[in-house]
Amino acid sequence: MISLPWDVVRTAVPLNYCSLSKKITLKQILTTDQNWWRFYKKYEPKLRPAIIIGITKLLSCRNIIRGYHEYRCSKPGCTHIKRICHTCKCKTCSSCGKKATELWIAQQNALLPKTPWQHITFTMPQPLWDFFWFNRTLFNKVSALAADCIQTIAKKKGAIPGIFTALHTFGRDLKRNVHVHLSTTTGGLSFDHSQWKTLYFDQATLMRMWRYEIVTLLRREAKKGLVIPPAILKQLNHTCSFYQWLNQLYKKTWVVHCSKPTEDHQLTVNYLGRYIKRPAIAESKLKHYSGNTISFQYLDHKTKTYRRLTLSIEQFIVLFIQHIPDLNFKMIRYYGFLSNRTRGALLPIVYDLIGQEKNEHSKLPTYAELIQKNFGFNPLICILCGAPLLLAGIHFGKTNVYQLLQHHRELALTKNCD
């Protein structure tokens, strides 16, 4: 783990703060002045494999090394040829994350039952955040604990709810902030699958359940060899053991926020879609790169004002890469009648009970449709004559992770012209 002491510059900026006319991209920051390669050579032994793979994929995005689709103009006599390089489809990449978000939203809108839903945010006190970085296996358990709180209440009502969760490890200023966004139906399938039961979730009750689950998890893990972060370790002595320290946190009120139920899932899906398939920071938040520092804008929840955070390049990279999930880690998880094990059998029953047509499928947006929607032009129209472009061939490049890693240095030192 990389841990750097630093002083960051935080300045409040007005709500009408104007962004720069030229967009700054994550790839530009990493490739300019060999920023990533110098960082990599300095900290290589401390970098998780997922970080190296994620950054390498990002650097290869829309690079000829990945291959390309070749299009030719359909109008006779027009010689225009367009090559569209393949993307990396990696969560570390902002542009690929945007496409993945659109596809995920479309899939959820087709899958989830059209019934009232409630969005609940489970947070924990700041002193606990670092435990997850020093004990990364805990990330696999936290979403299930939040879902268990909902399922325990539903079980007492004799119902099986539909739940999906999104684990977030970051705040808007890129600092560590472990919390779970959970969406649940405010109704559930009865145990005998014959009726749809209404459910109600009390915020104070959920807070106490969530607090108990997290503290119990840490107590249990401490018996197995939990790594205690150095900052916490300094607070422990013969008068304050780890268990006593946990008891102090247990006595405090934790923040669990229950939003008002909505008529269907779409508001929550659209909200979570902005975060779960993208890197920890959107490129639209990047405001200035001086060559030595990078500034980005974020909304301060406490003051409800926009603030600007200025960091050295090394500090920014540390904050950014710490939120890259481990390989094959699932940020989104499903529980109740939406779990992968039961949805095939239970979802059709839910559709019947709430009067929704079965197997609704929405057409997933194509590449051309996404470009048209987000940028206002059709990429498959000839720029010379306006005729449609037709696919002429697909040229496959290096997409295997191990192949790409062999070109890590070349990709990192390539001058980016996005």
Q: What pLDDT does residue 94 have?
A: 83
Residues of the chain with pLDDT under 50: 5-21, 417-418
> Are 180 and 166 in contact, with CB atoms under 8 Å apart?
yes
Q: What is the pTM of this model?
A: 0.88
Cα-trace Rg, the chain: 24
From the CB of residue 255, how many other CB atoms can be counted at a distance below 10 Å?
A: 13
Tokens of 277: 């398939």
Q: What pLDDT does residue 213 have?
A: 98
Residue of 396, 386, 370 lying closest to 99 (CA atoms): 370
Nearby residues of 239 by Cβ (< 8 Å), 6 or more positions away: none
pLDDT digits (tens, 9 = 90+) for 197-252: 999 999 999 999 999 999 999 999 999 999 999 999 999 988 789 999 999 999 99
Side-chain half-sphere CA neighbours of 390 within 13 A:
8
Query: 184: buried, middle or exposed (CB in 10 Å: 19+, 13-18, 0-12)?
Result: buried
| Distance spanning both ends of the chain, measured CA to CA | 31
Q: What pLDDT does residue 122 have?
A: 98
Q: What pLDDT does residue 367 have?
A: 79
Q: Is 291 left (phi over 0), alpha (psi -120 to 50) or beta?
A: left
> Are 25 and 321 in contact, with CB atoms under 8 Å apart?
no
Residue 80 and residue 389: Cα distance in Å, rounded? 9
Q: What pLDDT does residue 256 have?
A: 97
Beta bridge partners of 69: 84, 394
Residue of 58, 7, 105, 146 lying closest to 324 (CA atoms): 58
